[in-house]
Structure 1
């Protein structure tokens, strides 16, 4: 895939970039290793000052970088601006909280005595240069939620971003440089996916994190495993959205629309499978379908646009194939199910609701990465849980119920890294984020995330 900015609203190639040469990659690896030797000795106060400086820059430049994001991958301008603001918040949160999250831990006095020590403690120390392989769908946020904790922990970063967001990738590298981080602390590598293996195998790179497809995760994990290097993976999701009889149907349906089409439907944590109790199925389906049908598809730069184009022609075609497969096997589309009229240029697809989905259809198992929802009817909580878990993924989940007993049951039995009651999945710096099954392993954000790339060290003295 060429490294290029292609505007998904009209398919026009705006700018192309040459990949780094082998010599340039070698220099960046050397710079990262050198930077780590010095940066690891900085204080939390100094790291926080630098990260807050980067947050200040991003806050001032949010409007401009948001336009770049929208131009490169098609999310609405309002969504891009919100993404930038979220990044600023996360950077400031880690600047304020990292020292406490990584404070030394002291075992109980009785346990220290029993171990034969005069004293013992647990320290969290940085690992070194970490390779971050990041996707295009949240081109700022996915990077910052790695970079902020990694830099505060004393690590340095090497970013291999998606090839269709090169200007955003370059902005990120420049942002940390202008904030005052020493050269080599955070660098963007404009390289093809074929270069990832050699970078990851380099002994100066100590670990990797990847957000992306299951295939990309398998590839990186296999190389890292062969090299015995730590990885964190956040992969796909086919998140269930369960609606039970006690739910506030108006709020559930209204939120369901947003949960499905956020980021033009291109989000791993977007709700995709809507599993509704038969007692409220018809009422919910009517509200939800009406809400999806009312969305405005259009130019993502325009303020009245709800859903912009998909990020690429291939992504639009893949989504279209999933829907066509379902429709030819008997599913129905009470709204959508096709490319919108009047958009001969660009990679648009109508917000779509599918009913009558069966397990023989590809969309029942595969992630629909676009504004397409599958709607299911179930008899009770048992069937809802069985269907919700009938997926190779386990990223997040949403449940609408006012019944406390049902909440306990769903909390115990849903196979997901997150369970959100009476609301939609959202990430926050203070809450761990990640999945189970083929959605990956490890956690980002919170104290769990910052410790993923630390050497948890026992210090013991007799």
Structure 2
């Protein structure tokens, strides 16, 4: 089998090399995970919650080591990596505190029996295919929910953060999770498809592109296995006529540049009403032009490198094609000289349909600014997308913004006068080509649970 070598995107230096598993070795790990599940499913909800509390503590105990590793592998700002580990621990805390109640048996009164019980039973081994942009969070998000449910968990992590995936497995073992219950598979795509088809794998969850989602859904569909897909997006942030422009500029800059611009729920299209367009663009471009790019471990760095050089090349091609089709570069827009996969904070204006900056997901620090006639036109443009993960509304009239969010915005999440971040207490997921299913907020623990109906005759 071939090897996987991780690269530091800030320097281009090699980090570690890992051997990929053969199909036979991978299948043996699936069997071991299923064996661990067979015992884990019998443990009480409270017992599982206690173990998950221990995993949260272990994550905090190893926060610095895991954060340093994530920054080395994918170029995240070190402070953001530390925050990510803390979010992961908070997910453990929330799940342990709320999971037993979410999964508790429910009493029903059926017409054809004395009483009814709905019980949320674990279904087996769940296979997660995860990306590199949040090397710990993407794993914790689905793994902790499924462990709470009583399932076993497999992970195929992105190759460039292989070390982070293996470190999480080590931390989980240190935190008291039974052997084999959370298992990392260092495998290629062909073996991954065989894992999906494996008879002991009962569900598949993917975070990735819509193209990857189509492939995984097709493979899982052949085997009649449930999937949860959290896919890409080109989230629209609307700046309405009554918005506080200075506040909107700050929020929209963070929404685009957080995590070096590589976030699925990042603001990507910024739709600004004509009335405030000129003021917004002037201040927005000024803010982007001042962003300091450099060493992600340095305290004074605003933005680190992109995660891989090939991703940077793809982003540049999308920018170039957008410009060829009428977009204008207000700042940034060219790959700098020197080592590392750095890309400047970039603003494109005159963005319109037919350009990648309008139609597709630009997964890097490039903001697409679009002028709208008025608030109604801004809402129309925001929904003019094949995606529907998240979006934002900048407005002083919060009640009206809530109405727009609930009745008109065709997305899974809406952020009003704030930017998109995940929260354990709120559902996470999208619609249209951004996928289906939900994580967090009590929803994730039931996605791969069997809502089992038990009818009891009159006693």
Q: Give TM-score, length-normalised by structure 1.
A: 0.96
Q: Does 1:354 align with 2:355?
A: no
- 1:410 and 1:55 map into 2 onto residues whose CA distance is 33
Distance verdict in 2 for CA 1:45–1:405, change over 3 Å = closer
- 2:153 and 2:311 map into 1 onto residues whose CA distance is 29
Paired position in structure 2 for 1:405: 400
Paired position in structure 2 for 1:29: 30
- 1:427 and 1:143 map into 2 onto residues whose CA distance is 13
Q: Does 1:366 align with 2:350?
A: no
- 1:29 and 1:313 map into 2 onto residues whose CA distance is 33
Verify the 8 A CA contact 2:241 2:375 in the aligned structure 1: no
Q: Higher mean Cα deviation, 9-18 or 117-126?
A: 9-18
Q: Higher mean Cα deviation, 278-287 or 161-170?
A: 278-287
- 2:354 and 2:189 map into 1 onto residues whose CA distance is 33
Pairing 1:46-445 to 2, within 5 Å after superposition: 46-107=47-108, 109=109, 112=110, 115-340=111-336, 343-403=337-397, 404-445=399-440
- Per the TM alignment, residue 21 of structure 1 is displaced from its structure 2 partner at its CA by 2.0
- State which of 446, 451, 454 in structure 2 corresponds to 1:459: 454
Render the CA deviation track for 1:118-166: whole Å, top value 9, x for unaligned.
Answer: 1112110101000000000001001001111110110110000001111
Verify the 8 A CA contact 2:237 2:392 in the aligned structure 1: yes
| RMSD of aligned residue pairs (Cα, Å) | 1.3
Render the CA deviation track for 1:332-376: whole Å, top value 9, x for unaligned.
Answer: 112111123xx4111111100000112121221110000000001
Q: 5+ residue gaps in structure 1? A: none
- 2:60 and 2:362 map into 1 onto residues whose CA distance is 33
- Per the TM alignment, residue 447 of structure 1 is displaced from its structure 2 partner at its CA by 1.3
- Per the TM alignment, residue 248 of structure 1 is displaced from its structure 2 partner at its CA by 1.4
- Per the TM alignment, residue 11 of structure 1 is displaced from its structure 2 partner at its CA by 1.5
- Per the TM alignment, residue 2 of structure 1 is displaced from its structure 2 partner at its CA by 5.4
- State which of 415, 422, 441 in structure 2 corresponds to 1:446: 441
- 1:270 and 1:9 map into 2 onto residues whose CA distance is 22
Verify the 8 A CA contact 1:385 1:410 in the aligned structure 2: no
Distance verdict in 2 for CA 1:97–1:369, change over 3 Å = same
Residue 455 of structure 2 aligns to a residue whose secondary structure is strand
Residue 165 of structure 1 aligns to a residue whose secondary structure is helix
Q: Give TM-score, length-normalised by structure 2.
A: 0.97
Q: Higher mean Cα deviation, 44-53 or 126-135?
A: 44-53
- Per the TM alignment, residue 241 of structure 1 is displaced from its structure 2 partner at its CA by 0.4
- Per the TM alignment, residue 429 of structure 1 is displaced from its structure 2 partner at its CA by 0.7
Render the CA deviation track for 1:32-65: whole Å, top value 9, x for unaligned.
Answer: 1111111100112221221111211110111111
Q: Higher mean Cα deviation, 8-17 or 350-359?
A: 8-17
Render the CA deviation track for 1:80-120: whole Å, top value 9, x for unaligned.
Answer: 1110010000011101110001111223x5xx3xx121111
- 1:270 and 1:377 map into 2 onto residues whose CA distance is 19
